[in-house]
Amino acid sequence: MTELTPDLAYSPSHFASEFESTLTRQADAGRTLRDLHPPITVAYGDHPAACLNLFIPPGEGPWPLMVFIHGGYWQELDHTATDFLAERYLARGMAFASIGYGLAPTHTIENMITQCIQGLEAAYHALAESGGVWSITLGGHSAGAQLAYWVAVSGRVPIDKLVLVSGVYDLTPLVETYVNAPLKLTKAQARALSPQFGELTALPTCQIVVAENDPPAFHQQGHNFIALLRAANVQAELIELPGCDHFDVLEYL
Residues in CB range of 228: below 8 A, 6 or more apart: 196, 200
- Please report, for the domain that includes residue 80, its CATH number: 3.40.50.1820
CA angle 165, 171, 172 (to 5 degrees): 150
Residue 121 falls within a domain, yes or no? yes
Enclosing domain of residue 79 = 6-252
Q: What is the pLDDT of residue 143?
A: 98
In a domain, 146, yes or no: yes
Q: Is residue 113 part of a domain?
A: yes
- Asked whether residue 21 is domain-assigned, the answer is yes
**pLDDT the model gives residue 95:** 98
- pLDDT tens-place values along the chain, 253 residues long: 458 899 999 999 999 989 999 999 999 999 999 999 999 999 998 899 999 999 999 999 999 999 999 999 999 999 999 999 999 999 999 999 999 999 999 999 999 999 999 999 999 999 999 999 999 999 999 999 999 999 999 999 999 999 999 999 999 999 999 999 999 999 999 999 999 999 999 999 999 999 999 999 999 999 999 999 999 999 999 999 999 999 999 999 8
pLDDT in tens, 72-103: 999 999 999 999 999 999 999 999 999 999 99
Would 154 be classed as within a structural domain? yes
CA 141 to CA 5: how far, in whole Å? 23
- 232 and 200 Cβ atoms separated by less than 8 Å: yes
Whether 1 is in a domain gets the answer no
Please tell me the total count of domains within the chain.
1
Residue 61 lies inside a defined structural domain of this protein:
yes
Cα angle 140, 141, 142; round to 5: 125
What is the per-residue pLDDT for 160?
98
C-alpha of 104 from chain center = 16
164 touches 208 (CB < 8 A): yes
- How far apart (Å, rounded) are the C-alpha atoms in residues 174 and 168? 9
Which amino acid, residue 111? N
Task: Give the model's pLDDT for residue 2.
Answer: 58
Is residue 185 domain-resident? yes
- Among 101, 110, 111, 65, smallest CA distance to 80 is for 101
Beta bridge partners, 164, equal 140, 208
- Give pTM, 2 decimals: 0.97
Which pLDDT score, from 0 to 100, does residue 112 have?
Answer: 98
